[in-house]
Structures are given as C-alpha cells and as structure tokens.
C-alpha cells in the first residue's frame, strides 16, 4: 500500500490536514491516508484533460458500474433503475426521511452515532428516539420505539463508531419489526466495502420484506477516499420508492458532481486487488492497535471493529481527566474525534481513525501513551 509522506498529505489541503497545526497528528475525520487507487486517479486525470467541468449527465454509466460491482463482489443483483446519485450520504438520509416516511413521525437513532445523524431530526423537523448501540442493537427496544409511533430507523451498517456488522437473521428481524409498524429502515452503508472477515450483507436484500422496508444510501467515498467529489448513491429496492423518487422535483434530486460521477464509476470498475490490499493493511493496523493501546495506556478499553477503519476508545478508567479528545490534542498533539459529539453514551470516549501508515500510528500511540503516563 502506497502512503504519501506527511508533507504530501498536508499538501492535499483537505479538512483533515488543515484544521490543526502541522505538529498535530490527525487521526480523526474519516479520510484515509492511502495513495489514490491508480484507476480512479487516471479516470479523474482523463476527465480533467477533457475539461469535463460542466453539469453532470444522467448517472447511466455509474448505474452499470454499480450493478457489475455488486454482482461480482456480493452476489447481489441490483436494479439499475433503482440507483440514483446524490451529493452525499447525509443528504440522501435527509431526503429519505422527508419523502419516504410518515409525515412528522419520529426518527429512531442508535447512539453513540455518527455525529451528523444528530442533526437529521433538527433539519427534518422530527422528534428523535434514542436507542442504545453499545454492544449491539436490541430489537425489542427498537420495536417499542416503532410501536410508540416512530416512523423510521437510521441504521448505520456497518456501525460507525462501534464497528460491528449485522447478519442476515438480525436484518430480517429488523425488517419485520419495521413492516409491522408501517416503518422504514434507512440504511447508511457507506462503510460496507470495508468489512474484514466476511463480505457485507446488504440489508435490503435479505428478504422481500426488507426490500420494501429499506432505503439504502451508500458511497465509494470511504473505501476509495473520494468524499470531496460529492457523489453518493441512493438504492431503491421496490417499485413504489422508485416511482416516488422519480416524481420529486429535479432540484431535490440534483447536486452531485461531474467529477464525482467519473471517480465513483472508476471506483466500482477498478481492480478489486486495491480493495483487498487496503483491507489487509487496515486489519493489520486494527489488530496491532487492539493489542498495543491497552498495554500502553492502563485502563483503556478498545473495540475491535469488524468493519470500518475507526476504533472506539473508552478512557473512563484511565488517568485522563475529563474528555479525552481535547485533552490528548493539548497534551499529546494527536487529534481524535471527541466522543461527546456522538450523542448520548459518548462522554469519556474518543474515536480513532487508523487508515494511515504504521509509522504514523506508532508515533501517535507513543505520544498518547507518554501523555497519559504523565497525567
């Protein structure tokens, strides 16, 4: 796996590398430090050479690429007529809530959660029902929330920040629960291509009930690091939802970019050896961290994620005073995500991004351990 130098990474000029001073190691926002997949980089370069900077076309080529990728990797047959481009996953979730759930119905959000999920009830003018996500989701708790009037569940599959996955039986049960209460499951599958020891199970494909209950929002942005190009995908698996989407005003369905279409198509068509190499490196970093961090920082508890390149860290029994992320930023010059931004259950925790070189990771752990030893 090719890793640019720290100076080269800073030259990217992205949010990850510009928010903090150069001496801070950024292990926070979910961008990876890998060199770009060669086929993707070439596709973007070719588009720039062609000056493909105008308004984006219909995503016909993207649909074809996704159908091919999902068939070859997951054995899933997607309907190309049910695939649509949107600017990003959070925008897709917002549109799904507004246009595909009962008007005014509350949203079920498992917590701790990806921080922008906390904004979804605000921007859609909905009440929120929090359910626990630590240690896995409780179907009975979710059913009680649906029975009390909730209209939708935001399911992050695989889970961010906790890193666990869901099996077929669990997903079928969730779909049946939602269907019993005229509810929807809005599934964020942005990390689906980064599952370590088995292939991802797409929630909408586990049963006919799931196909009707689920709306899938995904992107190539995590596995291939192209989030800034603005091209996520909505996947609808029933004809009614496709008809509803096609009936929306075109302004609601626009916003993705021309270069985003080009790059995303290239991601799905690229040799999957790049993805395999990336997963091998991430698995090695994950296993090293899971052993090294608790050994170096007494009292620290870590998850061992089944997917994603994100590790949830519990500092509550360590010597770190207060919230760990701001403390470590000040005392170790390592930037993690603050657990309090992930909603209820996040206090005393931090999220660490290990999609970096082992050299960077080793330096970060050394800094964190030394700071904690002096706390």
166-210 pLDDT per residue, tens: 999 999 999 999 999 999 999 999 999 999 999 999 999 999 999
Q: pLDDT tens across 287-296, in order?
A: 999 999 999 9
Which residues, at least 6 apart from 253, have a Cβ–Cβ distance to it below 8 Å?
Answer: 84, 86, 245
pLDDT score at 199:
96
pLDDT score at 41:
98
A 10 A CB-CB count for 327 gives 18
Displacement of CA 210 from its chain's centroid (Å): 21
Pairing of the two strands 334-335 and 152-156: unpaired
Is it the case that residue 257 has pLDDT exceeding 90? yes
Residues 158, 203: contact at Cβ < 8 Å?
no
Domains in the chain: ranges and CATH: 6-31+273-373 (3.90.1150.10), 40-269 (3.40.640.10)
Q: What is the mean pLDDT of the chain?
A: 98
| Nearest CA among 77, 65, 74 for reference residue 268 | 65
Q: pLDDT tens across 299-335, in order?
A: 999 999 999 999 999 999 999 999 999 999 999 999 9
Q: pLDDT tens across 91-148, in order?
A: 999 999 999 999 999 999 999 999 999 999 999 999 999 999 999 999 999 999 999 9
pLDDT score at 44:
99
Which 3 state secondary structure label does DSSP give 112? Answer: coil
pLDDT score at 72:
98
pLDDT score at 20:
98
Host H or E run for residue 312: strand 310-314
Q: pLDDT tens across 214-230, in order?
A: 999 999 999 999 999 99
Is it the case that residue 84 has pLDDT exceeding 90? yes
Q: pLDDT-derived band of residue 1, with 50, 70 and 90 as boundaries?
A: confident
């Amino acid at each position: 796996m090719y890793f640019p130098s720290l100076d080269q990474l800073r030259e990217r000029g992205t949010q990850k590398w510009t928010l903090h001073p150069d001496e801070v190691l950024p292990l926070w926002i979910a961008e990876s430090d890998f060199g770009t997949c060669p086929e993707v980089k070439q596709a973007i370069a070719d588009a720039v050479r062609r000056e493909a900077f105008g308004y984006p076309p219909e995503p016909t080529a993207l649909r074809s690429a996704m159908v091919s990728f999902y068939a070859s990797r997951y054995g899933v047959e997607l309907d190309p007529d049910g695939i649509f481009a949107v600017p990003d996953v959070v925008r897709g979730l917002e549109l799904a809530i507004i246009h595909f759930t009962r008007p005014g119905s509350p949203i079920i959000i498992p917590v701790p959660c990806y921080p922008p999920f906390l904004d979804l009830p605000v921007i859609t003018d909905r009440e929120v029902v929090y359910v626990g996500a630590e240690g896995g989701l409780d179907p009975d708790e979710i059913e009680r929330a649906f029975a009390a009037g909730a209209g939708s569940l935001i399911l992050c599959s695989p889970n961010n920040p906790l890193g666990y996955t869901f099996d077929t039986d669990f997903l079928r049960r969730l779909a049946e629960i939602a269907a019993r209460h005229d509810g929807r499951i809005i599934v964020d599958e942005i990390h689906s291509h980064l599952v370590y020891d088995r292939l991802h199970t797409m929630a909408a494909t586990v049963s006919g009930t799931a196909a009707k209950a689920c709306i899938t929002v995904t992107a190539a942005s995590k596995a291939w690091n192209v989030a800034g190009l603005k091209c996520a995908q909505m996947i609808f698996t029933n004809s009614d939802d496709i008809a509803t989407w096609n009936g929306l005003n075109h302004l609601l369905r626009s916003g993705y970019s021309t270069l985003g279409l080009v790059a995303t198509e290239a991601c799905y068509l690229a040799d999957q050896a790049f993805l395999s190499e990336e997963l091998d490196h991430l698995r090695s970093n994950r296993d090293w961290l899971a052993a090294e961090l608790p050994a170096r920082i007494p009292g620290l508890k870590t998850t061992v994620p089944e997917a994603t390149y994100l590790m949830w860290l519990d500092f509550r029994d360590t010597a770190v005073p207060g919230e760990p992320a701001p403390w470590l930023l000040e005392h170790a010059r390592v930037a993690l995500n603050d657990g309090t931004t992930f909603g209820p259950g996040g206090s005393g925790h931090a999220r660490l991004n290990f999609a970096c070189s082992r050299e960077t990771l080793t330096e970060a752990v050394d800094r964190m351990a030394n700071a904690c030893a002096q706390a």
